[in-house]
Structure 1
């Protein structure tokens, strides 16, 4: 980005006033320090502004409610990959040991999914499109899916998020995910109360249920869920499921063809 340069005005008049060290307008090391500090502060503020500007596109896209908004990547026609170094690309954690992720850590396309286990549209996606994406793209090494817990529908949503994280500590996150979304259900139905999450853990073949309960109640679980939720809030996410595919936003229970269109274009651009 071009940076405007200010011109120094010429002043041919010489001042006969003597300056004392440290006084306003003094020269030398003591005067240089506050000037250097001001320059560093200005540079830091400029960097913060640039990051904010870069994020505007992501915020405006993923922050709109509903699953049929025309601001989504799919409505933009030809997808333009985000430039290298864009903050949205840094959201992908690419941790090979992340139990809430599927697919190779170095996959060319990363899809971040913000999910509430009590959300009906998240369930529709999980029972349909998700499986097709796994078969076509995750298993072939093209796509990596990273789930972020975003419990926005009350206490049972929070309990479900903690339970999903706890199942992941025993490498059963995706089994818990599938069991939790296996059928339609009403919100706050007791599906994710104390007995409900244990039943889902059993259905997911979580081997140590006592450890599962302890992990679910742990401070670490709260911190992990809180970290994911804060990321979503910072982005301006207002509904689930919401997705960032290499930084490109999609909302709701979209058809598999809509995901294919975005993933295919981003994969081709990455080759």
Structure 2
């Protein structure tokens, strides 16, 4: 009982610590993206996709929230991340493998961001599993996590988001096929990891983080504290990343100037 109380207390404290700034950000990540993926009007609790992602407003483009920036984990050993742990810009991506707009982003936009910003050290991408389309989504998220345990998350990510992949579903057999395509060597370990409590816990942690921010649709992004909703055009991400990089550089210069001034 005391342990459960501590868990609940810690969770409550963390939610409070994220704080008031997220109330505004929740509107940006949730309400502004509501037309991209939203609850089915049938009332059965399912979620359906609309024809187009929701474009962020001008205010959303301009808004940067320190509370959101703190969500970057910067764990150098995180297999669900790519890019330097100390990169000046971190883009957190909340996404679902059943989401068509997530697939569009993965195929059309993300490779360019990797080539342009990740490879040269400016950007780090941190993936968060945010399954909202039911059991298939949950299984795919656990499968991706399991592939990551063998260092093949991003290869699995590419295979799962390939054109036409989500239409084949994400049953256990299909996930094993995707793991094989991704170069996962130990199929038995993959299956065990995918069904483990650790996989369920990791997915739930990411999912609760997204819901805690008010995210109601996929994909949702946070770039150095700046929320972006939907699979936006490339230039939206370019602008956000370059603006964040300039701000980080300026902050670094400011810190050096302050240190120099203090020593004189």
How far apart, in 2, do the equivalents of 1:166 and 1:264 lie? 33
How far apart, in 2, do the equivalents of 1:264 and 1:92 lie? 18
| SS across alignment from 1:128 | helix
Assess if the C-alpha contact under 8 Å between 2:61 and 2:228 holds in 1.
no
Structure index of larger Rg:
1
Are positions 1:172 and 2:156 aligned together?
no
Q: 1:96 to 1:62 in 2, by over 3 A?
A: same
How far apart, in 1, do the equivalents of 2:17 and 2:75 lie? 27
Provide structure 1 residue ranges, at least 5 long, that are not aligned to the other structure. 1-47
Are positions 1:108 and 2:88 aligned together?
yes
Assess if the C-alpha contact under 8 Å between 2:160 and 2:166 holds in 1.
no
Are positions 1:53 and 2:33 aligned together?
no
Give 2:185's aligned residue. Answer: 207
What number of residue pairs does the alignment pair up?
217
Per-residue Cα deviation, 1:44-68 (whole angstroms, up to 9, x for no partner): xxxx978532222211111121332
Residue 185 of structure 1, CA deviation? 4.7
Give 2:50's aligned residue. Answer: none
How far apart, in 1, do the equivalents of 2:173 and 2:17 lie? 49
Aligned alpha-carbon RMSD (Å):
2.0
Q: 1:61 to 1:173 in 2, by over 3 A?
A: same
How far apart, in 2, do the equivalents of 1:76 and 1:105 lie? 29
Are positions 1:68 and 2:68 aligned together?
no
Which has a greater percent of helix? 2
| SS across alignment from 1:206 | coil
How far apart, in 2, do the equivalents of 1:228 and 1:152 lie? 12
TM-score (norm 1): 0.76
Give 2:106's aligned residue. Answer: 126
Please, which of 219, 229, 241 is the counterpart of residue 197 of structure 2? Answer: 219
How far apart, in 2, do the equivalents of 1:79 and 1:96 lie? 29
Please, which of 85, 107, 116 is the counterpart of residue 136 of structure 1? Answer: 116
Give 2:241's aligned residue. Answer: 263
